[in-house]
Amino acid sequence: MATEFTDANFATEVIASDKPVLVDFWAPWCGPCKMIGPIVEKLSKELAGTVKIGKVNVDDNQAVAAEYGVMSIPTLILFKGGKAVATTQGFQPEPKLRAFIDANK
């Protein structure tokens, strides 16, 4: 299960992580977010040893979304060493999302 990141735990769960972290910025009312959700969940299980994967509900955690300039969702940002190193927006099929992770971790 993908971790739920919040404004309160983002610094410890994402910024301080010793592994690369993929963050899915989403909202319950977003159609493309619902489509990519199961892919994010699947990858979070498959890549659990090498990449931490989690989600930020932008409705409930607006500070983090604003800090990283998330204007449309879904936005997925890969963090490495506490810094945002790559961003992709919109629905991504599993092979494309997996390639995005592999290319940037």
pTM, two decimals, is 0.96
Report the mean per-residue pLDDT for the chain. Answer: 96
pLDDT digits (tens, 9 = 90+) for 70-105: 999 999 999 999 999 999 999 999 999 999 999 998
Average pLDDT over residues 22-28: 98
Average pLDDT over residues 43-71: 96
| pLDDT band at residue 2 using 50, 70 and 90 as cut-offs | confident
The architecture of the domain spanning 3-91 is: 3-Layer(aba) Sandwich (3.40)
Give the C-alpha separation, 100 to 40, whole Å: 12
Which of 56-59's residues contact partners 24+ apart within 8 Å by CB, and which partners?
56/4, 56/5, 56/6, 56/10, 56/23, 56/24, 56/25, 56/26, 57/4, 57/26, 57/27, 57/28, 58/25, 58/26, 58/27, 59/27, 59/28
Average pLDDT over residues 22-45: 97
Give the C-alpha separation, 56 to 60, whole Å: 8
The string of DSSP letters for 67-102 reads HTT--SSSEEEEEETTEEEEEEES---HHHHHHHHH
**Strand duo 75-80 + 83-89: pairing:** antiparallel
Average pLDDT over residues 31-36: 97
Q: What is the DSSP letter of 9?
A: T
Active site residues: 30, 33
- Domain boundaries along the sequence of the chain: 3-91
